[in-house]
Amino acid sequence: MMDSRTTDWDIVIVGAGIIGCSIAWHLRESSLRVLLVERSEPGGLATNAAAGILGPLNETSGPGPLLDLMQESLSMYPSFVDEVQRSSGLSADLVPSGILSVATSQDEMKNLTAKWEWQQSRGKDLSFLQSDEIRKTFPSLSPDVQGAIHYPHESHVFAPRLLKGLLGGLGRTSVAFRSGTSIRRIRPEANGEMTAETSHGDRIRSRQIVLTPGAYLNEMEIPDPVPPITPANGQILSVRIPDFPLRKVVFYPTKGYFVPKLDGTVVIGATEESVGFQTRVTPRGIMEFLAPLEHVCPRLLDAPLQMTWSGLRPKTPDGLPVLGSHPIHSNLVFATGHYRNGILLAPVTGRKIASLLQTKKNDDSLLPFSPERFA
Ligand SMILES: Cc1cc2nc3c(=O)[nH]c(=O)nc-3n(C[C@H](O)[C@H](O)[C@H](O)COP(=O)(O)OP(=O)(O)OC[C@H]3O[C@@H](n4cnc5c(N)ncnc54)[C@H](O)[C@@H]3O)c2cc1C
């Protein structure tokens, strides 16, 4: 590992959430001098709050570049976590569980059928299950469940442990890590380099800077134009239920889900609120996704509550991530705005942004996510 007190770098990555760490991971074998900078707890805004669901089809409302990017990232997951585990010794608990998206009323069935119509040809081995089949195969679900789409190849991962593994693995490479350092301002220099100024007034010079601060992007002073990112607070909780027989991730309307984890907990979430940078958990918030569970899997409502928490998803106005170079300063690169799917999109973001930094050539598949769209 390089000495993180050095002030001259080839690449400085601002923010050690899953996105910044995945980019650093994909640069670890390059000969570039790379510094990863973090203001507080790595992944403390969003990554450590995530349920870890890897569900491209379940998450999209139509075909397009986002779905393509998510499916590409999902296909990278097994080798990504495998490499991280081999390097760090930590398992990220990737579980090829499959996902069920269920409907419990006539209206929800209409929406599910519409989703099925465009999705059935977009994924492998998908099926539409009717109520009698659901009752037989998944007896822990409520008899109120009328239909479900089954995505057998979608999965989930333990996001905080994946992040820990990435940081552990990076500690064995030449990538330097500086924690407790908040970047306040980014400035272009006359010689074409960029400077990152810390909140203590220190200056870190670099040939390229990558901004991966999640929802905090607009809190920094950055040359215009800056993509607008807002925080979308998500409240979420876990119950302890070690003998829970259902191993599938289950989504239920409008935005509820539960995820049976390998450690005997079931994660249940999540709200989406625009309340600024507040991270809070409220009775009304958790009721939003707990009340519909009565008609999906009532048993979970009687399990001992383990923990509640919340996090801030980085959201753009069009819901797409921001991936690529600043419209004016090409050596300033953005990788944020991953909103509901940053854990899923981490491997592909890491690979494509690392390649952009090394080759200075944008992959065409990144064009729909270019920061230019906000210029
Ligand atoms: C409740 C909830 C559930 C979710 N569930 C899922 C899911 O199931 N699947 C999925 O794919 N996604 C999920 N997400 C979304 C996912 O968590 C995010 O999209 C992803 O974590 C974003 O990662 P990031 O690295 O961009 O941001 P973060 O994890 O927020 O990391 C940004 C880092 O930058 C640091 N930072 C910020 N500003 C500065 C600065 N000025 N200087 C230095 N460092 C700075 C922060 O401290 C932080 O460590 C969920 C999110 C929430 C809140």
* Closest by Cα among 143, 158, 135 to 260: 158
Pick 8-48+161-227+318-374's CATH classification: 3.40.50.970, 3.50.50.60, 2.30.22.10, 3.40.47.10.
Answer: 3.50.50.60
pLDDT reading at 14 higher than 90: yes
- Decide: 16 and 34 in contact? Cβ < 8 Å: no
Whose Cα sits closest to atom 22 in ligand 1?
342
Q: How far is 102 from 106, CA to CA, in rounded Å? A: 12
* Closest by Cα among 287, 290, 310 to 299: 290
- Decide: 335 and 209 in contact? Cβ < 8 Å: no
Regarding pTM above 0.85, the answer is yes
Ligand 1 atom nearest to CA at 342:
19
pLDDT at 240 (0 to 100): 97
pLDDT at 248 (0 to 100): 98
How many CB atoms neighbour CB 296 within 10 A?
A: 23
* Closest by Cα among 251, 237, 223 to 332: 223
Q: Cβ < 6 Å from ligand 1: which residues?
A: 14-20, 37-40, 42-47, 49-53, 182-183, 212-216, 220, 234, 236, 269-270, 311, 313-314, 336, 338-344
Q: How far is 51 from 258, CA to CA, in rounded Å? A: 9
Report the amino acid identity of residue 12: V
pLDDT reading at 2 higher than 80: no
Whose Cα sits closest to atom 4 in ligand 1?
50
CATH, range 99-152+230-315: 3.30.9.10
Ligand 1 centre and the CA of 130: distance in Å?
37
Q: How far is 205 from 76, CA to CA, in rounded Å? A: 33
pLDDT at 309 (0 to 100): 98
pLDDT reading at 5 higher than 70: no
Q: How far is 116 from 124, CA to CA, in rounded Å? A: 13
pLDDT at 259 (0 to 100): 98
**Ranges in the chain annotated CATH 3.30.9.10:** 99-152+230-315
pLDDT band at 361 (very low <50, low <70, confident <90, very high): confident
Higher per-residue pLDDT: 4 or 245: 245
pLDDT at 366 (0 to 100): 96
- Decide: 86 and 92 in contact? Cβ < 8 Å: no
Whose Cα sits closest to atom 45 in ligand 1?
15
pLDDT reading at 335 higher than 70: yes
Alpha carbon distance, N-terminus to C-terminus of the chain: 37
* Those residues with Cβ within 8 angstroms of residue 230's Cβ, 6 or more apart along the chain or in another chain: 215, 218, 274, 315
Cis status of the peptide bond prior to 16, with omega within 30 of 0: no
Q: How far is 87 from 9, CA to CA, in rounded Å? A: 24
Which of 340, 345, 348, 369, when mutated, tests ligand 1's pocket best, judged by the most ligand atoms within 8 Å of its CB?
Answer: 340
**Residue for token digits 């999640």?**
214
**Ranges in the chain annotated CATH 3.50.50.60:** 8-48+161-227+318-374
pLDDT at 123 (0 to 100): 85
Q: How far is 316 from 233, CA to CA, in rounded Å? A: 13
pLDDT at 4 (0 to 100): 66
Query: pLDDT by residue (tens digit) across 18-75?
Result: 999 999 999 999 999 999 999 999 999 999 999 999 999 989 989 999 999 999 999 9
Percent of the chain surpassing pLDDT 70: 98
Ligand 1 centre and the CA of 350: distance in Å?
14
**Residue for token digits 């040359």?**
223
pLDDT band at 124 (very low <50, low <70, confident <90, very high): confident
Judging by beta carbons within 10 Å of its beta carbon (0-12, 13-18, 19+), is residue 210 exposed, middle or buried?
Answer: buried
* Closest by Cα among 301, 355, 297, 291 to 323: 355
Report, as an integer, the average pLDDT of 245-258: 96
- Decide: 350 and 212 in contact? Cβ < 8 Å: no
Ligand 1 atom nearest to CA at 21:
25
The secondary element (H helix, E strand) that includes residue 178 is: strand 176-178
The secondary element (H helix, E strand) that includes residue 146 is: none
pLDDT at 208 (0 to 100): 98
pLDDT at 192 (0 to 100): 87
Which of 4, 12, 13, 19, when mutated, tests ligand 1's pocket best, judged by the most ligand atoms within 8 Å of its CB?
Answer: 19
pLDDT reading at 150 higher than 90: yes
pLDDT at 81 (0 to 100): 98
pLDDT band at 355 (very low <50, low <70, confident <90, very high): very high
Average pLDDT, the chain: 96
Which of 13, 18, 204, when mutated, tests ligand 1's pocket best, judged by the most ligand atoms within 8 Å of its CB?
Answer: 18
Whose Cα sits closest to atom 41 in ligand 1?
183
Query: pLDDT by residue (tens digit) across 298-326?
Result: 999 999 999 999 999 999 999 999 999 99
- Decide: 11 and 32 in contact? Cβ < 8 Å: yes
Whose Cα sits closest to atom 21 in ligand 1?
47
Ligand 1 centre and the CA of 197: distance in Å?
22
Q: How far is 15 from 23, CA to CA, in rounded Å? A: 11
pLDDT band at 6 (very low <50, low <70, confident <90, very high): low
Which of 76, 163, 181, 216, when mutated, tests ligand 1's pocket best, judged by the most ligand atoms within 8 Å of its CB?
Answer: 216
> How open is the CA angle 106-52-28, to the nearest 5 degrees?
145
